[in-house]
Amino acid sequence: MNSVGEGCTDLKREYDQCFNRWFAEKFLKGDRSGDPCTETFRKYQHCVQKAIKEKDIPIDGVEFMGPNKDKPES
């Protein structure tokens, strides 16, 4: 599945692969220490927030997920 921003799709795939690898190889085997994908997620999140702003997509009332749970920059 592509990202909301065309320029974000590669970052999305990179994050998805990182998360899936961590989930299968670490989390499901009981290793819950750290998340090696945090920085990749932040880059992807920033890209998506920028795309949402550029496309003027209304986001009022939407909860944001992620390590820092920041709302898009104004």
Residue 9 backbone dihedrals phi, psi, to 5 degrees: -60, -40
What's the mean pLDDT in 33-57?
89
Mean pLDDT of 64-70: 55
In which band, very low, low, confident or very high, does the pLDDT at 60 lie, cut at 50, 70 and 90? Answer: confident
pLDDT of residue 4: 79
Is 39 a residue whose pLDDT tops 60? Answer: yes
pTM above 0.75, yes or no: no
More confident residue, 74 or 66: 66
DSSP character string of 33-57: S--TTHHHHHHHHHHHHHHHHHTT-
